Structure formats: C-alpha cells, structure tokens
C-alpha cells in the first residue's frame, strides 16, 4: 500500500550515531519530494542514556512531530521498552537480531511486527566500526518501505567524501546490505511504502540554522557568546562562516563578557548579537541595563530550557517570557519577539536587527530547544522580504553643519541620531549613570523625568510599525487557540485533527510580545466563542501578560512543563475533554 506518509523513529545510546542516522533518513525523504519534520530527545550526558530522533514524513505540509510511530529502529532493548506503547497497531520494530533476543510477547503487545536484522553481523562482515550499525538500520528501513535507495547513497557519498573513497564505499555497502536484507525477508509484511515524487526541492532547516541565516542576511558583523545549550549550534555555525561573510565570532569566557563585547561592537557601528539560554541571560542582565542606558542597539537570541539553575539542559520549555519582559534593574523599553517556526526564525532575526537600530534599543528573540533543534522542510526563503534599515546614523556632512552634536537629543519618537566613534564632529560621552542630553552624568529631577520619558517613547513608536497579530484559520470558529513561540506547530496540527472531528478552530499567535498589542488582542479575544491557552510552562505566563494588558482571563489552559514539547495528539485530547 503506497502511503501518503509515516512516522519513523530511531533510538539507542548516546554515541550510537542516532542523530546522523536520523538526519540521513530525513534528507533522503526530503530529496524524494516529501515534507519532513524531525524532533530529537536527548539527555544531558555525553555517552549512554537514551537518545531518540523522530522523523515524520508526508506528502502534505506538516508542522510538528507526532506521538504515534509507524516504524521504530531500536539499537538497544531499552529503546523498545520506552517506545513500544507509541507504536501504532501493526507498526514495526527493526532491531539488531545479533544482539537482542526477543519474543513477540516480551513487549506486552501482539499487534507489533518484529523485524530482526543482523546489524552487528553486517558491520563485522564489512570490517566497519560498531557505529556503522546505524547506516545498516537506515538502509533496512528504506528496504521495508521499498523506497529509492539511491537517494541515501548520494547523501552518504556527500557526507563521507572527505574521509576517502574507502569509507564512502563501506557506508554505501552497509546501507545496501541492510536494504536488501529487509526488503527480501520482510517487505511484504510492512504495508506502508514510500515513492519519491517530482516535487520541487525544499530546504530542510532547523530553527538554529534559520536564525544564523537571518543574522548573516541582516549584515551581522560581530557575534560574542559562551556555548550553552540549546544555542551552541548558532555559535558553531556562525563561527564556520567568519571568512565567507567578514564576520567576527568570539567565544567568550562567560556571558557577562559576551554582552559587554556586543555592546562595544554595536557602539562602534557594527551590527552585533549574542546568543545564550536562560541561565546565560541571567548573567547578562546588568549588561542589558547598560545597553539600555547608553541606548546601544543589541540583539539577544535567548534559547529557553527548563530551570531554575542548570535545570534540564537538553530539554525544552517556555518559561522565560516574563523574565525577558522585565530583566535588569530599573525600567526601560525593550522589544521581545517570539518566532514560531524556522521560517519565522529567519525573517524575524533579520527584523530584530532592523528594530534594534531603528529604535536604538535591545531586541530579545525568544526561542527554545524544540524550535532550535527540530528541522522542517520549507519552501525557498526570500531574503528580499526584509530590507536592511540601519536607522538614524549621521553623515560627516550632517555633523559638520551642527553647532554641537547632542547624542541624546529629545525627539518626538525618542530616537536620537547616532554618530560612530571616530567621526569628525561626532564625539559624545556614553556612561552607565543617568545623564543629560550630552551624555554627561546628571541627577536632576526634571532631567531624569524627561529622559526616561524619551526612552519610553521608542516603544510607542515601535508599536506603530510592528505588525498586529492576526487570527489563523476560520473567522467563525468554535474555539480560539492562544499561544506563542514553538507551540505554533503542534497547535496547527491539532487544528487539523479537530477539523476531522467537526470542530472548527482558529489560532491567535502572539509574535511581538513587547510592545504588547493590547488593543488588537483585546478585540480578537472579545469575539472568540471559547478560548484555550497553550503554553510550555507551569504558570501560563502569556496568559498573565494578556490579563495584565487587556483584563481578559483565559481559564481553559493546556500547560506542559515536563521538559518535552507538545504533541498535536495531546492538545487534541485535552481540547476534546474541555469541550
């Protein structure tokens, strides 16, 4: 039976090559014309523990991973035990028959198909390293599905070409032997088959890669960061592009140094950013206040994970919203943006740099582990959608015409024209203390009042140019989902499930969280028949922000805070309980 799609998962210990195998399977499916979504589940240890990666494949666009699995590749017995209850009826398990002895009743289910493959034996025959079992397993999976193996061969050749022809051939042979073994013995027992199509090629991209591409397209020239999950891939990727983009990437000794270096680079006229997690952002908040007082544009990518303290470093959560909205001492404006998928990571990172410089403020881009590490097929990204806007920079000619350059001059929108240190006639003082319009330290009462008001006028000006949130889905719906960030994908998938049950739903996604679009949100919520809030945290932080700004309390909430992302099935199930 040719299938429109399926869910494939692979699991084992850290060091078994789970991620590389999953990526190879995902890319082979993507190159065959399928839409793909991947999700990883990793403990915060280097070796051992349980690692898993799920790849969802379909002919229709997909936005999230799933709970149920069609085919599981288990590189150890623990993987079977942990995921057996996720298998659909008549779903299958590929496992190493050389290392795992298994009877049908051992798993407590009679409706699961078992496909033992001598993974270790094939690797031994090829005189390969034990990790090569993962390639054999991917080949066996494609054999069960009767999928075009040449798509995987091309990927293996590309991935291992730097290691020489011998390694390339060994991997291709491993995939072929796994493919032939499974197809010959089991193909008629696994009903789901995949056939490649002539669909236009799509990008398979993670949220972290999309952030990087957005930063490069925006003209970012300086990055300083300390490696911290889940944002380390951003630092690594940008470091690999230094020469290609005339970019300076600095791995600092800590997050305090990172934010201060970024402030210095931005003050000197470079587009600059840092990336961190909630724990690292905690160290940056004094520097955040320095940037606010000196009115230096800074972009901060904040990758949320469970806290407090070290928390669960490799898991996901949405628990830093209120922290981002109020971080650092005192009161000052900042812009907070929460992308919901890889495309938004790309476009909104570009926009973050524009907003930071146009309004000479700090822009915090709130992402999370799920969003950053998941990959998804997307259509070609269009960099032209966001043009570079650098804001109020003064030319040498403009400075020469001035009697005196006033760095913090009072303006209707609160944004004072900038000079770059070193410009003739553009000298100014920049201090962390409160100051007057020239930048000189001054604590006068009237001065303090007007300059605070000046800074906050930026937020009102930004609100006039930031897009208002809109409803996604049917205007006249039975219920309205409210969410932000990476809940977008699971909510959209849950809406498909509800539609099949005859329930009409729409979705209010809040992307710009500061300045908060209170008027528009209030209008939408007041017209909704039923509201359901979805958040990956304990205290419904977005719900609190909405009530603060609009007075609307959303009593029906679907919350998850176990370190794992929502599945569409979980949201669908909870909604049906509420209804």
Q: How far is Cα 130 from Cα 524, in angstroms, rounded to an integer?
A: 57
DSSP 253: S
Cα dihedral 177→183→189→190 (10° resolution): 90
Q: Are residues 317 and 193 in the same domain?
A: no
Q: Are residues 445 and 363 in the same domain?
A: no
Scan for tokens 């065959």, then name that residue. Answer: 32
**CA 486 to centroid of chain Cα atoms:** 7
Q: Are residues 75 and 32 in the same domain?
A: yes
Q: How far is Cα 320 from Cα 281, in angstroms, rounded to an integer?
A: 10
Q: What pLDDT is attached to residue 45?
A: 79
571, part of any domain: yes
Domain boundary at 442, 465, 488, which? 465
* pLDDT tens digits, one per residue of 262-281: 999 999 999 999 999 999 99
Radius of gyration for the alpha carbons in the chain, expressed in angstroms and rounded: 26
Q: Are residues 232 and 299 in the same domain?
A: yes
390, part of any domain: no
Name which of 446, 462, 454, 444 is nearest 406 in CA terms: 454
Q: What pLDDT is attached to residue 14?
A: 87
CATH number for the domain harbouring residue 273: 3.40.50.970
196, part of any domain: yes
Is the bond into 162 cis (omega within 30 degrees of 0)?
no
What residues of the chain score a pLDDT lower than 50? none
391, part of any domain: no
Angle at which helix 207-217 crosses helix 342-358, to 10 degrees, equals: 40
Scan for tokens 């799509």, then name that residue. Answer: 202
Domain boundary at 340, 360, 385, which? 385
* pLDDT tens digits, one per residue of 73-132: 999 999 999 999 999 999 999 999 988 888 777 888 889 999 999 999 999 999 999 999
Q: What pLDDT is attached to residue 47?
A: 75
Number of domains forming the structure of the chain? 4
Q: Are residues 47 and 169 in the same domain?
A: yes
320, part of any domain: yes
Q: Are residues 239 and 381 in the same domain?
A: yes
Domain boundary at 465, 499, 522, which? 465
Q: Are residues 84 and 222 in the same domain?
A: no
CATH number for the domain harbouring residue 570: 3.40.50.920
* pLDDT tens digits, one per residue of 497-540: 999 999 999 999 999 999 999 999 999 999 999 999 999 999 99
Q: Are residues 536 and 433 in the same domain?
A: no
In DSSP terms, 482 is beta-bridged to 508, 533
What is the pTM assigned to this prediction? 0.96
Q: What pLDDT is attached to residue 186?
A: 96
Q: 448 with 435: CB under 8 angstroms?
A: no
Q: Which residues of 514-540 are buried (b: 16+ CB within 10 A; e: fewer)?
A: bbbbbebbeebbeebeebbbbbbbeeb
Q: Are residues 152 and 222 in the same domain?
A: no
Q: How many CB atoms lie within 10 A of CB 101?
A: 9
Cα dihedral 345→349→352→353 (10° resolution): 180
Q: Are residues 244 and 223 in the same domain?
A: yes
Q: What pLDDT is attached to residue 185?
A: 96
Scan for tokens 């300059």, then name that residue. Answer: 451
Name which of 276, 469, 462 is nearest 354 in CA terms: 462
Q: Is 382 left (phi over 0), alpha (psi -120 to 50) or beta?
A: beta
Q: What pLDDT is attached to residue 3?
A: 66
Q: Are residues 145 and 279 in the same domain?
A: no
User: 103 exposed, middle or buried (CB, 10 Å; 0-12, 13-18, 19+)?
Assistant: exposed
Q: Are residues 362 and 488 in the same domain?
A: no
Domain of 538 in residue numbering reads as: 471-578
487, part of any domain: yes
Name which of 327, 336, 279, 329 is nearest 303 in CA terms: 279
CATH number for the domain harbouring residue 79: 3.40.920.10
**CA distances for 229 relative to 259, 367, 578, angstroms:** 17, 12, 36
352, part of any domain: yes
Q: What pLDDT is attached to residue 230?
A: 96
Task: For residue 185, give both structure tokens.
Answer: 């013995």
Q: What pLDDT is attached to residue 101?
A: 85
**CA distances for 188 relative to 108, 196, 267, angstroms:** 24, 19, 66
409, part of any domain: yes
Task: For residue 276, give both structure tokens.
Answer: 């961190």
The average confidence (pLDDT) of the chain is: 95
């Amino acid at each position: 039976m040719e299938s429109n799609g399926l869910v494939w998962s692979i699991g084992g210990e850290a060091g078994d090559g789970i991620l590389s195998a999953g990526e190879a399977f995902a890319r082979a499916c993507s190159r065959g014309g399928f839409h793909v979504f991947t999700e990883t589940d990793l403990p915060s240890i280097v070796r051992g523990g349980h690692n898993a990666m799920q790849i969802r494949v379909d002919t229709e666009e997909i936005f999230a991973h799933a709970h149920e699995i069609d085919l599981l590749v288990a590189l150890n017995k623990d993987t079977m035990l942990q995921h057996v209850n996720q298998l659909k009826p008549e779903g299958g398990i590929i496992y190493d028959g050389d290392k795992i002895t298994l009877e049908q009743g051992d798993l407590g289910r009679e409706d699961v198909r078992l496909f033992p493959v001598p993974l270790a034996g094939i690797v031994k025959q090829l005189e390969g390293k034990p990790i090569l079992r993962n390639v054999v397993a991917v080949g066996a999976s494609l054999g069960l599905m009767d999928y075009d193996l040449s798509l995987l061969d091309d990927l293996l050749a590309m991935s291992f070409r730097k290691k020489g022809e011998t390694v390339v051939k060994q991997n291709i042979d491993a995939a072929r032997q796994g493919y032939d073994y499974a197809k010959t013995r089991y193909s008629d027992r696994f009903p789901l088959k995949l056939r490649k199509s002539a669909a236009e090629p799509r990008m398979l991209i993670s949220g972290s890669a999309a952030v990087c591409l957005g930063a490069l397209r925006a003209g970012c020239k300086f990055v300083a960061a300390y490696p911290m999950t889940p944002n380390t891939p951003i630092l690594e990727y940008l470091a690999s592009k230094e020469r290609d983009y005339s970019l300076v990437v600095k791995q600092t000794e800590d997050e305090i140094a990172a934010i201060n270096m970024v402030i210095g680079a931005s003050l000197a006229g470079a587009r600059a950013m840092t990336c961190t997690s909630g724990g690292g952002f905690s160290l940056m908040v004094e520097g955040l206040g320095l940037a606010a007082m000196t009115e230096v544009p800074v972009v901060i990518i904040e990758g949320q994970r469970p806290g407090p303290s070290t928390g669960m470093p490799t898991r996901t959560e949405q628990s830093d919203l209120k922290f981002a909205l109020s971080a650092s001492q005192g009161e000052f404006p900042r812009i907070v943006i929460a992308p919901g998928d890889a495309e938004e990571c790309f476009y909104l990172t570009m926009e973050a740099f524009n907003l930071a410089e146009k309004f000479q403020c700090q822009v915090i881009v709130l992402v999370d582990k799920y969003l950053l590490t998941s990959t998804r097929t997307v259509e070609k990204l269009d960099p032209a959608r966001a043009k570079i806007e650098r804001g109020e920079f003064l030319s040498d000619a403009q400075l020469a015409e001035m009697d005196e350059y006033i760095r913090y001059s009072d303006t209707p929108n609160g944004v004072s024209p900038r000079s770059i240190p070193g410009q003739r006639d553009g000298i100014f003082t920049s201090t962390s203390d409160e100051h007057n319009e020239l930048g000189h330290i001054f604590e006068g009462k009237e001065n303090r009042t007007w300059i605070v008001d000046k800074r906050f006028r930026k937020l009102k000006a930004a609100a006039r140019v930031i897009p208002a949130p809109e409803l996604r889905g049917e205007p006249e719906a039975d219920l309205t989902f409210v969410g932000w960030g990476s809940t977008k994908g699971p909510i959209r998938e849950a809406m498909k499930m509800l539609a099949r049950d005859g329930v009409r739903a729409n979705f209010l996604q809040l992307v710009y969280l500061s300045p908060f679009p209170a008027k528009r949100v209030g209008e939408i919520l007041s017209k909704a028949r039923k509201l359901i809030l979805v958040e990956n945290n304990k205290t419904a932080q977005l719900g609190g922000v909405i009530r603060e700004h609009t007075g609307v309390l959303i009593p029906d909430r679907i919350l998850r805070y176990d370190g794992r992302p929502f599945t569409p099935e979980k949201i669908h199930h909870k909604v049906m309980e509420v209804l």
